């Protein structure tokens, strides 16, 4: 994996949350990330011409086909496809529990949105096809991987909301049917499920040899349980209200959460699925490195 010196201000979630445009946010993250890599901005990918598309403001002028312009009097740009022929799709959990945010933090959904947008932008920069699935108890939106679909992916992420109860098995089974070409699939979720059920649900995506990455997103408060005052806690998935005295439960809570995370990491690892835990206060560079390393291993294996 390439080493990097990254300016963390460009990938700090608290800074990113002030950026209203998801497209600008993703570009900011990826440009800051790539700028820190000790290698070419192309990250080692070689490219072949794929097709022409109409020029839109913001496209690099060096990609304009001036000979075609002379013939047609219309601006168009050349698009390219990586010789690894990689397709990428993010599968983002938009269930109710993803709306949680502790004081001063962004929600898990927003963090997942930032991750998905940044990974899609990085993949697009690599000339990969990009797509998206959002899901709760069912598939909510599906954008098939394509070299042209980055705007659709970003638009779908922007309008995603977390308001319904979640489930993993049924929506991931439905999502698996959409991927008929080998892809790198990145599942972003808080994994509110028993570890074995979560692993089995994700493994459904492995049809046709898909490469799987799992990004487990939790709020710092869900990991540390820092609450002091007794009160009533709501289960965001079920709506159940529970009276809790934090001081009496903190140690046991931390033990259970630690065991849950450790079991997920072990079970996914045993099945050859890359797994990484993120809390919503951490910068996004680790996720980008994690994805890039997986993509490069896949390219070398072809």
Reported as a single tens digit per residue, the pLDDT across 165-223 is 999 999 999 999 998 788 999 999 999 999 999 999 999 999 778 999 999 999 999 99
Q: Does residue 251 have a pLDDT over 80?
A: yes
Q: Is residue 3 part of a domain?
A: no
Domain of residue 279, CATH code: 3.40.50.410
Q: What is the pLDDT of residues 152-168, one digit of tens each?
A: 999 999 999 998 999 99
Q: What is the pLDDT of residues 12-51, one digit of tens each?
A: 787 788 888 899 999 888 887 777 664 433 444 444 555 6
142 and 258 fall within a common domain: yes
Domain that includes residue 182, residue range: 8-40+84-301
Q: Is residue 98 part of a domain?
A: yes
123 and 57 fall within a common domain: no
204 and 68 fall within a common domain: no
User: Which long-range contacts link 12-19 to residues 24+ away (Cβ below 8 Å)?
Assistant: 12/283, 13/105, 13/106, 13/110, 13/111, 13/114, 13/280, 13/281, 13/282, 13/283, 13/284, 14/106, 14/281, 16/114, 16/284, 17/106, 17/110
Is the Cβ–Cβ distance between 120 and 153 less than 8 Å?
A: yes
Q: pTM value?
A: 0.78
């Amino acid at each position: 994996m390439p080493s990097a010196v990254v300016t963390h201000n460009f990938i700090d979630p608290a800074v990113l949350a002030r950026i209203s445009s998801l497209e600008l946010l993703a570009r900011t993250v990826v440009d800051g990330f790539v700028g820190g890599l000790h290698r070419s901005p192309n990250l080692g990918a070689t490219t072949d011409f794929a097709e022409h598309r109409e020029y839109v403001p913001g496209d690099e002028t060096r990609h304009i086909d001036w000979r075609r312009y002379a013939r047609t009097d219309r601006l168009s740009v050349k698009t390219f496809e990586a010789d690894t022929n990689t397709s990428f799709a993010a599968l983002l959990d938009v269930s109710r529990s993803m709306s949680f945010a502790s004081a001063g933090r962004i929600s898990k959904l927003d963090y997942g949105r930032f991750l998905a947008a940044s990974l899609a932008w990085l993949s697009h920069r690599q000339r990969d096809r990009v797509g998206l699935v959002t899901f709760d108890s069912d598939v909510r939106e599906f954008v098939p991987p394509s070299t042209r679909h980055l705007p659709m992916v970003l638009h779908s992420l922007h309008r995603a909301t977390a308001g319904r109860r979640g489930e993993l098995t049924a929506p991931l089974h439905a999502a698996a049917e959409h991927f008929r070409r080998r892809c790198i699939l990145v599942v972003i979720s808080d994994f509110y499920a028993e570890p074995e059920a979560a692993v089995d649900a994700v493994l459904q995506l492995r049809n046709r040899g898909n490469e799987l990455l799992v990004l487990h997103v939790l709020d710092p408060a869900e990991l540390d349980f820092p609450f002091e005052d007794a009160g009533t806690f709501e289960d965001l998935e079920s709506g159940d209200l529970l009276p809790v005295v934090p001081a009496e439960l903190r140690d046991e809570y931390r033990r259970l959460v630690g065991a849950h995370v450790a079991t997920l990491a072990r079970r996914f690892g045993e099945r050859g699925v890359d797994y990484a835990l993120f809390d919503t206060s951490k910068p996004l560079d680790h996720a980008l490195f994690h994805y890039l390393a997986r993509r490069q291993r896949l390219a070398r294996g072809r």
